[in-house]
Amino acid sequence: MALEKDDNKNVGQGAGAPQETESDLRQARSALLNILDDTEMARRLAVEERNKTLAIVQNFSDAILVFDENNSLELINPLAEEFLNAKQEDLLGKNMDELLDTPKTKALMEALGIAGKDFIEKVFRKEFMARPDFYLEITTAPLIMDSQPKGTLIVLHDITREKNIEKMKTEFVSISAHQLRTPLSAIKWTLRMILDGDVGPIASEQKEILEKSYSSNERMINLVNDLLNVSRIEEGKFLYKPEPIQLEEVINSTVNALQEEAKRRGLSLVFNNGGKEPLPMVKLDKEKMKLAVDNLINNALKYNTTKNGKVEISAEKLDDKQLRVTVKDNGLGIPAAQQARIFTKFFRGENVVRLEVDGSGLGLYTTRNIIEAHGGKIWFESKQGEGTSFYFTVPFA
C-alpha cells in the first residue's frame, strides 16, 4: 500500500512531464509491483515454513521446551505439557527462577541444575525421574543464530520402556544366576568329597581329571558371582556396610590368598609395605573392598605372561585426606585404542582375548563401582607390551 501511495505521488509530481518519463514511470511502477508480488510470495513461504516447523514441533515424538535469550519460556509443545502435566498458558513467559517455584516444573528445573545460575548448562541424555515409574532423558542445546545466542532448546525423551526392559534384564540375570549357583555348589561339593577320599580311594589319574573339572567349576562359580554382583549393583542391592579399618589388612589378606596362584603362574607378587608405620584408618566395607583389590591383583596376575613377571602393590598417604593404592604389573598392557572402554561392562582387551584367558569382563566395572561407592577414584596408566599400573584412592575415616 505504501508503495502505491508513493507511486501516485510520483505520478502526480511528474504530471506534464515528457512522454518518455511517463513510460519510465509506468515501467518503474510495474517493477515495484513485481517486487511487491515477490515479497508477498516470500512472506507466504515464510509463514508456510513457520507453520510447518511449528507443526513438526507440536507433533514431535519428544517433548520440547524453548527458552529465549533472557531464559524465559518461549515455546512448549503438547507432549511437554503432557509430560509435565501442565498447561502452556500457565508456563509461557515465565523465567527459570519462576519455573523453579512452580510445582509442576520444579523437579525438571532442579534436574537441569539451574538453581543459583542464570544460564542453562549443556546436558546430554541426563536421566530424570519425572514421576514414579516415569523416566525422561534430558538433552539441552544452545540455540545459536548468526553466531548469536538466541536461547536454549530442551528435549525430553521418554525412556520409561527402556528402564523397564533394563530392570527386567537385571532381574533375569539375578534370578538365573541364583538358580545356577545351586547345581554349581552341588558339583563343587561332590567333586571335593571324591577328591578328599570321602567316598573311597581314587587313582592318581582319576584325581588329576577331577582336579581339572573342579577348577573349571570354580571358574564357572566366579563367572556367576561376577554376574550376580553386577546385577546387584544395577538393582541397587549392592549394599555397603562400612567400618573403620586398616586398608593394609585387606590388601595383606588378599595378597596372601593369591600367593599360590602367583607361584603357579611363575610370577612374583609383593606388597611393599614392610616396616612402614600403619596408614591412617579408612572406612570401608571390608568384603566389597576385598573384592575390588582381588579383581585388580587377579587381572595383574592373569594378564602377565612375561618372563620374570611381577606384580607390586603399594599403599601410601596421598595427601592429608586420602590413601592411594597402586597395583603395578609388567604384563600385557591395555591397547591404547581400547583404554577408554576398560571400565565398561563385558569389556575385554583384544590382546587378552587372543590369549584365551578366561574372564567375564565384569571385574573392573564392579571394582570401579566399589571404589566410587567408598568416595574414592580409580584410574590407570598402561602401555601395551610394558604393563599396567592401576591406582585408586580411599578417603580417611
The residues binding other proteins (CB under 8 A) are 178, 181-182, 184-186, 188-190, 192-193, 196, 198-199, 221, 224-225, 237, 239, 241
Compare residues 112 and 250 and give the one whose CB is closer to other proteins: 250
Compare residues 154 and 191 and give the one whose CB is closer to other proteins: 191
Q: How far is the CB of 267 from other proteins (least distance, A)?
A: 25
Q: How far is the CB of 177 from other proteins (least distance, A)?
A: 10
Q: How far is the CB of 223 from other proteins (least distance, A)?
A: 11
Q: How far is the CB of 372 from other proteins (least distance, A)?
A: 19
d(CA 256, CA 307): 22
Give the three cell numbers for residue 14.
511528474
Compare residues 19 and 182 and give the one whose CB is closer to other proteins: 182
d(CA 156, CA 80): 7
d(CA 269, CA 266): 10
Q: What burial class does residue 144 get, using C-beta atoms within 10 Å of its C-beta: 0-12 exposed, 13-18 middle, 19+ buried?
A: exposed
Q: Are 273 and 315 in contact (CB under 8 A)?
A: yes
Q: Which residue has the cell 523416566?
A: 135
Q: How far is the CB of 366 from other proteins (least distance, A)?
A: 15
d(CA 3, CA 28): 11
Compare residues 298 and 304 and give the one whose CB is closer to other proteins: 298
d(CA 198, CA 185): 17
Q: How far is Cα of residue 289 from the mean position of the Cα atoms in its chain?
A: 23
Compare residues 137 and 226 and give the one whose CB is closer to other proteins: 226
Compare residues 115 and 199 and give the one whose CB is closer to other proteins: 199
Q: How far is the CB of 198 from other proteins (least distance, A)?
A: 6
The DSSP string of 253-270 is HHHHHHHHHHHHTT-EEE
Other C-beta atoms within 10 Å of 53: how many? Answer: 10
Compare residues 232 and 348 and give the one whose CB is closer to other proteins: 232
Return the amino acid letter for 96. M
Which value, in Å, is the radius of gyration of the alpha carbons in the chain? 35
Q: With CA atoms as reference, report the closest residue to 232 among 184, 299, 285, 296.
A: 285
Q: How far is the CB of 213 from other proteins (least distance, A)?
A: 15
Q: How far is the CB of 343 from other proteins (least distance, A)?
A: 24
Compare residues 187 and 270 and give the one whose CB is closer to other proteins: 187
d(CA 84, CA 64): 11
Alpha-helix runs per DSSP H in 117-203: 160-195
Phi and psi (nearest 5°) for 189? -65, -40
Q: How far is the CB of 79 from other proteins (least distance, A)?
A: 41
Phi and psi (nearest 5°) for 62? -115, 155
d(CA 395, CA 388): 23
